Amino acid sequence: MRSVGRGAGGWALLTALVVAAFLVACGGGDSDSEAGSTPTVDETVAASGTPGTSTEATAKATTPGSTRTASPRPQATSTPAPSGQNQPPPPQADSNGDPDTPTPRPRPTNTPRPRPTNTPLEPLGITILAPREGATVGSTFAVRVDVTGIELNLGPNNQLIPGAGHWHIALDTAPPLPDQYDTTSTSFGPVGQGQHTITVLLNLNDVDLTVVAIDQVRITVR
């Protein structure tokens, strides 16, 4: 009876050892297969090409709630000018192909304007210089005049050059005598005794012989 009991206990112990060895063998094989199929941290780092990455940093980076998203920085963009607004024209190139430099505009100068003169033109006129007012003269006497504003010129054969003038003498109330003068002095007479009025008339050399000035004096002929 003692030998049979020892044999049964030995078989049980042997069976337990075999089962334990089998389990160990099965567990080690799975571990080896898992170890062979799962890359290590160093292999992962080497494969990704990111040096200095540790398992702790990787764990922190992948932990929910710890990831911070960097806000994108605003980039400066150029705003195109609205259509319709004046834009400066591009510089034009000269004959050598170089762009022309802008030509400065001349600045206005404060040049004083000439002031208008109020000096009137010399008026047309005729004045008797001799005989004087109230003078006593003989029956024949000299008449001298001063003419302003026009040239006295009858032209050859009294052709009445345009733009010039001439003058006549009238005695008392009679019409002017037909004689024409283009000099400032002439002899006049004979005139009867008594008081008389001598009138001189300045005429233009036009078709109408326009009278432009008159002067007269009163004299006594002895």
Residue with tokens 């009679």: 174
Q: Does residue 179 contact residue 204 with C-beta atoms inside 8 Å?
A: no
For residue 109, what are the CA distances in angstroms to 104, 106, 113, 180?
A: 15, 9, 11, 57
Tokens of 54: 């540790």
Distance CA 99, CA 111 (A): 35
71 domain residue, yes or no: no
Q: What is the predicted pLDDT for the residue at 135?
A: 97
In this prediction the pTM is: 0.47
Q: What is the predicted pLDDT for the residue at 95?
A: 55
62 domain residue, yes or no: no
94 domain residue, yes or no: no
For residue 120, what are the CA distances in angstroms to 41, 114, 124, 158, 201?
A: 116, 17, 12, 31, 23
Q: What is the predicted pLDDT for the residue at 190?
A: 95
160 domain residue, yes or no: yes
Tokens of 34: 């898992």
167 domain residue, yes or no: yes
List per-residue pLDDT tens for the chain, 222 residues long: 444 444 556 667 777 787 777 776 665 544 444 444 444 444 443 444 444 444 444 444 444 444 455 555 655 555 555 555 566 666 565 555 555 566 667 665 565 555 555 545 579 999 999 999 999 999 999 999 999 999 999 988 888 888 999 999 999 999 999 999 999 999 999 999 999 999 999 999 998 889 999 999 999 999
Q: What is the CB neighbour count within 10 angstroms for residue 168? A: 18
Phi and psi at 146, nearest 5°, equal: -125, 125
Residue 164: give its domain's CATH number: 2.60.40.10
75 domain residue, yes or no: no
Q: What is the predicted pLDDT for the residue at 63?
A: 45
Q: What is the predicted pLDDT for the residue at 3?
A: 44
SS3 6: helix
- Helix (H) or strand (E) run with residue 27 in it: helix 2-37
Q: What is the predicted pLDDT for the residue at 220?
A: 97
Q: Does residue 170 contact residue 199 with C-beta atoms inside 8 Å?
A: yes
Query: Ramachandran region of residue 194, left (φ > 0), alpha (ψ -120 to 50) or beta?
Result: left
Q: What is the predicted pLDDT for the residue at 51?
A: 44
- First and final CA of the chain: distance in angstroms? 218
How many residues would you count in the chain? 222
Note down the domain range covering 149. Answer: 125-221
189 domain residue, yes or no: yes
Phi and psi at 168, nearest 5°, equal: -125, 165
Q: What is the predicted pLDDT for the residue at 189?
A: 94
Q: What is the predicted pLDDT for the residue at 34?
A: 46
Q: What is the predicted pLDDT for the residue at 13?
A: 75
State the total domains in the chain: 1
